Amino acid sequence: MPQIYTHPSPSQSVISLSDGDEEENNLFASGELAVASPAAWYSRLHHVQTVVHIPPHSPASRLPPEILINILKHLSSPRDIHSTLLVSPSWCECSVELLWHKPSIPDFNTLIKIMQVLSREEPTFTYAQFIRRLNFISVGSEMSDSIFGRLAPCTRLERLTLVGCSNLSDDVISRTVPGFPSLVAIDLSGVDSVTDRTIFAVADSCRKLQGINLLGCKRVSSASILALADKCSLLRRVKLSGVVDLTDEPVSALAIKGSLLLEIDLNGCKKLSDRAVRDIWTHSHNMREMRLSNCVELTDLAFPAPQNIRDLPPGPNPFPPFTRLPPSDLPPLRLSRPLEHLRMLDLTSCSKITDDAVEGIVSASPRLRNLVLSKCGQLTDRAIESICLLGKHLHYLHLGHASSITDRSVKTLARSCTRLRYIDLASECLLSIIVILLILLAKTVIS
């Protein structure tokens, strides 16, 4: 197979998850293009020497391919990248992979055209090997098993988004995904046919996996999530909202074995108890976002204990009516180090938590930006006073249906959290609370 560049660069392609992506909330966001060397022609027949219209001594004709590729990476428009394909065979080799790295699929007709190119017996280039990211969110309802099965040659695929592809069967997904060993992120939101079979296939084949979204995959059980925790040690973002059969064991395994875990979403996992959440607080020191909404069994013991609660000595408690701990074999949670990176905590409808839990949370995560305590009906002014300690770090606060909060604590909140951008007090609270808050915030802005 002839090559224009007889000495390709020794530099290797890097994974497309750049450092910048690690700072994003969405693991499926775009990052640096993973192209480091010119593309190879599929066969000798396609490599036709043509007259290059660039002068022989032009600087562009002497550019090493690595430099040219890095220049072309700055072209954001696919139309512009396509234009560079037509300059010369050497430019074509350097730009074709950039064009196919993340093909845009705005409609079903575009998808069909892409599949036709991938199905050719002798394509100009090995296009399937160029594809690193595929997002089918725009054609989710039209995706079928026959189309998805044709993606098997895309063995370098790193990110796959199948949001809303409800027509795909678990059988086809479980047979196709093992062909993507470099997969970094997969989003199966709304694919309700997914079962443990697919998740086991992902765990066995995709050891580089860093993000998975199983929103609404109600047929997935704890067994396959446990396999993910055991085999995918690089997991950073795990979204299990709506996995109703999830129990403590896989969540604890994710926390203990996943030292890189940044985000976990356990919304609606009603079988979780205090033990699993305690393991998250204890082991996930890099955690940034924790969503525990509608985990209705959680109590204060799931969270770090406030400083004023002392551990009870072993043996029976001689003063059970006066202790603040509910009957349990779990001691108050003491952390060896705070969660300095935690920025978002959602405890919507965790109705069993009290002011003690909020006090412990604030002491263990002093830089919270977004705190959601909607429908936590046992909270009082003491919880708000604890939240005030977050000061300038707090930007968003949700307190809907916290009917025991009064004007006094809200005044203190407005004075303490000077960078507060949004607050939700939708409940049975007196209107004067909202009025006072608005006045105090206005005075803060003016001053």
344-346: strand order across its sheet:
133-135, 159-161, 185-187, 211-213, 237-239, 263-265, 289-291, 344-346, 370-372, 396-398, 422-424
User: What confidence category does residue 346 fall into, taking pLDDT thresholds of 50, 70 and 90?
Assistant: very high
Supply the pLDDT for residue 325: 43
Greater confidence, 273 or 38?
A: 273
362-386: b or e for each residue (b if 16 or more CB lie within 10 Å)?
A: bbbbeebbbbbbbbbebbbbbbbbb
Greater confidence, 72 or 60?
A: 72
Supply 436's token pair: 């006072």
Best CA proximity match to 289, nearest among 7, 26, 67, 14: 26
Q: Work out the average pLDDT over 359-373.
A: 96
Fold classification of 273-308+329-447 (topology level) = 3.80.10
Dihedral angle of Cα 282, 285, 289, 293, to the nearest 10 degrees: 0
Let me know if 55 is exposed, middle or buried by CB neighbors in 10 A (0-12, 13-18, 19+).
Answer: exposed
Supply the pLDDT for residue 29: 53
Distance CA 193, CA 370 (A): 33
Q: What is the pLDDT of residues 100-133, one digit of tens each?
A: 999 999 999 999 999 999 988 888 888 999 999 9
Q: Work out the average pLDDT over 285-314.
A: 85
User: What confidence category does residue 429 fall into, taking pLDDT thresholds of 50, 70 and 90?
Assistant: low
pLDDT of 447 higher than 50? no
Distance CA 344, CA 398 (A): 12
pLDDT of 430 higher than 60? no
Q: Work out the average pLDDT over 30-45.
A: 56
Angstrom CA distances, 73 to 99, 127, 157, 177, stand at: 10, 18, 19, 29
Q: What is the pLDDT of residues 221-237, one digit of tens each?
A: 999 999 999 999 999 99
Supply 434's token pair: 């909202």
User: What confidence category does residue 23 fall into, taking pLDDT thresholds of 50, 70 and 90?
Assistant: very low
Q: Domain residues of the chain, as ranges?
A: 1-17+30-101, 103-264, 273-308+329-447
pLDDT of 72 higher than 50? yes
The listed range with the strongest mean pLDDT (80-84, 94-98, 235-239) is 235-239
- Asked whether 218 and 194 are in contact (CB, 8 A), the reply is no
pLDDT of 55 higher than 60? no
| 103-264 and 273-308+329-447: identical CATH topology | yes
pLDDT of 432 higher than 80? no
Supply the pLDDT for residue 63: 80
Q: What is the mean pLDDT of the chain?
A: 83
User: What confidence category does residue 58 fall into, taking pLDDT thresholds of 50, 70 and 90?
Assistant: low
Distance CA 298, CA 88 (A): 64
pLDDT of 74 higher than 50? yes
Supply the pLDDT for residue 39: 67
pLDDT of 414 higher than 80? yes
Supply 338's token pair: 């705070």
**Picking from 209-213, 289-293, 412-416, 436-440, which range would have the lowest pLDDT averaged per residue?**
436-440
pLDDT of 178 higher than 50? yes
Residues 6+ apart with CB under 8 A from 423: 396, 397, 398, 399, 413, 437
Q: Work out the average pLDDT over 78-85.
A: 84
Distance CA 356, CA 324 (A): 9
What's the CATH number of domain 103-264, 3.80.10.10, 1.10.3720.10, 3.60.20.10, 3.40.50.300?
3.80.10.10
Q: Work out the average pLDDT over 417-424.
A: 89
CA 390, 395, 396 angle in degrees (round to 5)? Answer: 105
Supply the pLDDT for residue 107: 94
136-167: b or e for each residue (b if 16 or more CB lie within 10 Å)?
A: bebbbeebeeebbeebbebebbbbbbbbbbee
User: What confidence category does residue 355 fall into, taking pLDDT thresholds of 50, 70 and 90?
Assistant: very high
